[in-house]
A and B are shown apart, each in its own frame.
Chain A
């Protein structure tokens, strides 16, 4: 990103995808979440598949987009199931879909399967953007490079580095991908963006978007999400 060093904390909003994805999230939580984030310039909000209709109705006229997820966060689902989920997301108005990859195939060196899966998903998504999640945390440098190559061959040009839930992205991961793939791959960072400094280093390294459930903290706002009333384990 250009001129990242000139951004004030509050000016980070356009780079942040604020997300609320957990097993026990309810429609009421999503509504509270939307009310919390509405005043800020987040371009997109991320929720799990069953909530995209509800999010869509809450966001009407706001100009904000809907991000959703597939096979998330563990990447254990088959291509057939991911295709169905992508289909569903497209029909229900998602702008982009973050898809956890087949880590078993990556770790077993089967990059043909990886590429074929990506192609099927991109074909299914049509105008909707497919964002693949290579989960850089668990990959060697060679695996990162080969995964990115397979993504590009399959027609995907945007990655989300990790899925969060404890899988962190390091600045070095962004630097590595940027160095090897330049502008061919757009990088969204997820996992470990908790502060303004985290955000600035990621943007400085070439990330274009930041996924975080701690958006207010990152922007230096003394404000809590109101859905955080209940503590899940």
Chain B
């Protein structure tokens, strides 16, 4: 599989979701994203204002990671968190779903969470994180169907704090949600082969902290 440099860069959510170590680190990640024209920088809410000020006018989106990484609090609070992040400058929102609700078969709660999330995100990009490694295929499918019915923009595989994306999971999610929604693969994408396999399986976006080394690898393989 060959891919153009700019197209590849535009799939990457340049991700910094370790415990945030300092403003300097956040700035570094933003400068890297601007240099490579990545799709977005993904940070925790505490870093959104700084990232937004750094990325203003660059064309790189400000992606905020909400609910990390356990996802276990009520939908109203998640909606509030979404609005709070957007008011601080986030333009894309990645939210961890209530995995416990799915595991308990409480799909009404999952639906309400997705609905409130959609409403709170407004016209901004709303991505729901399923944490696929904790779900059965049936639960993944159901969550994807609800994401589709509630009009979210992306279903995303993983937080990166547990097992990451797998090709079969991305394929399953793509099968259920395409073409209405897109799929973001995240967690464990370290090499160009990992990345290309995810794109091949149907992912449109890649959540990874290895964006810069992926670009280097791409240049080595295909020439810059």
Contact = CB atoms under 8 A, between A and B. Distances in A.
Interface of A: 21-28, 48-51, 72-78, 80-81, 84-85, 88, 102-105, 107-108, 135, 138, 232-233
A146 to B, nearest CB: 14
Contacts of B65: 76
A95 to B, nearest CB: 18
Nearest to A103: B19
Contacts of B85: 78
B162 interface: yes
A48 B69 CA distance: 12
Given A81-B80, A85-B73, A232-B162, A104 B47 contact: yes
Interface size class on chain B is: 35 or more
A85 to B, nearest CB: 6
B74 A49 contact: yes
Interface in B77-125: 77, 80-81, 84-85, 88, 96, 98-100, 103-104
Contacts, number: 115
Given A81-B77, A233-B162, A48 B70 contact: yes
B5 interface: no
A22 B98 CA distance: 11
B22 A108 contact: yes
B23 interface: yes
Contacts of B162: 23, 232-233
Given A78-B84, A104-B23, A49 B104 contact: no
A78 B45 contact: yes
A18 B167 CA distance: 38
A77 B69 CA distance: 11
A72 B70 contact: yes
